[in-house]
């Protein structure tokens, strides 16, 4: 049983999307297992007094360019989702409902959701998109639709988001490993260095 690396991401985070392609391979290379946590950036923005990058003067224009430029450099497709920014509640609830059954299935769902949003530009705020994404990884869409409308599943996601804040997670992507916190897709190389050297 390897050690755990915690990977936090918001389904509508462009940099989370970029990082999600890499994190499992990096963790596995050094004998770690990446444990994925869907979060919402909204409460994090509230906690730190910030807002979505695209809504910030000057930073917004820069960021839109940087998302696409970094994706090209990393060799992955990139488009902006149809609705952005937004609170990806259904996606987050679906993720935890699946994770409590089968964590690998939850990861496959998350990867398919990221692909739908940032490779295909689809609208993750629509329940129909979430159902189609779930179906594409073999999940019963009707069962998912019912489950994510229950208070239990809603509460499950809410608590996960609260826990992320309590753990010091204020952005996406965010990695916690060996008690060290790394914020941003641009810290993924440092995460890899940290695992390779056992710290520095």
- Alpha-carbon distance 173 to 158, whole Å? 18
Beta carbon of residue 41, minimum distance to its own copies (angstroms, whole number): 13
Residue 66 engages its own copies in binding (rule: CB under 8 A): yes
Beta carbon of residue 200, minimum distance to its own copies (angstroms, whole number): 6
Residue 131 or 187 with smaller CB distance to its own copies = 187
Residue 166 engages its own copies in binding (rule: CB under 8 A): no
Beta carbon of residue 84, minimum distance to its own copies (angstroms, whole number): 19
Residue 47 engages its own copies in binding (rule: CB under 8 A): yes
- Alpha-carbon distance 51 to 36, whole Å? 23
Residue 61 engages its own copies in binding (rule: CB under 8 A): yes
Spatial contact of 172 and 48, defined as CB atoms under 8 Å apart: no
Residue 179 engages its own copies in binding (rule: CB under 8 A): no
- Size of the chain in residues: 200
| Residue 177: strand pairing partners | 180
Beta carbon of residue 16, minimum distance to its own copies (angstroms, whole number): 16
**Stretch in the footprint of its own copies (CB under 8 A) among 2-10, 68-76, 82-90, 128-136:** 68-76
Smallest CA-to-CA distance from 71 within 141, 145, 136, 15 is with 15
Residues 6 or more apart in contact with residue 74 via CB below 8 angstroms:
18, 21
Residue indicated by tokens 């739908």: 116
Spatial contact of 195 and 26, defined as CB atoms under 8 Å apart: yes
* Interface contacts to its own copies, rule CB under 8 A: 47-50, 56-59, 61-62, 65-66, 69-70, 72-73, 168, 170, 180-181, 183-184, 186-187, 189-190, 193, 200
């Amino acid at each position: 049983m390897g050690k755990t690396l915690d990977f936090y991401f918001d389904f509508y985070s462009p940099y989370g999307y970029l990082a999600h392609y890499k994190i499992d391979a990096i963790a596995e290379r050094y004998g770690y297992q990446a444990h994925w946590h869907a979060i919402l950036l909204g409460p994090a923005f509230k906690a730190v007094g910030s807002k979505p990058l695209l809504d910030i003067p000057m930073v917004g224009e820069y960021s839109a360019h940087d998302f696409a430029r970094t994706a090209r450099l990393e060799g992955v497709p990139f488009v902006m989702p149809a609705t952005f920014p937004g609170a990806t509640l259904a996606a987050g609830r679906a993720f935890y409902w699946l994770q409590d059954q089968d964590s690998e299935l939850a990861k496959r769902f998350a990867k398919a959701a990221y692909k739908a949003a940032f490779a295909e530009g689809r609208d993750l705020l629509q329940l129909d998109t979430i159902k189609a994404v779930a179906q594409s990884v073999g999940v019963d869409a009707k069962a998912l639709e019912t489950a994510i409308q229950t208070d239990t599943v809603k509460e499950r996601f809410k608590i996960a988001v609260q826990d992320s804040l309590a753990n010091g997670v204020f952005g996406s992507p965010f990695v916690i490993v060996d008690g060290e916190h790394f914020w941003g897709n641009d810290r993924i190389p440092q995460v890899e260095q940290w695992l390779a050297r056992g710290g520095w």
